Structure 1
């Protein structure tokens, strides 16, 4: 298993830090996948909270 990046979201400031390993190029698929996965997670989290509020409120 290879460590590609660390993603540190800050819920208070709404800023996110993405620390990518030095050997990963900005033009690589790993870099694009890392950034894409963060935004996919944010969309999933927002949608799941919305569905949960509909079902359980």
Structure 2
């Protein structure tokens, strides 16, 4: 960031900005955990239920 606020940032209330930061963290954490657990490798043949993934 350059220290200059864009019009979009100025129009977004601080609580919404905080929520966006937090939800961004949650999403990145979910992607990390999915990679750590190898979920993509488990579903290469198609969708599976939670029970099938846990087996």
Superposition TM-score, scaled by structure 2 size: 0.48
Judging by fraction of residues, say which structure has more helix.
2
Judging by fraction of residues, say which structure has more strand.
1
The structure whose RCO (Cα within 8 Å, separation 6+) is larger is 1
Look at both structures and tell me which one has the larger radius of gyration over its CA atoms: 2
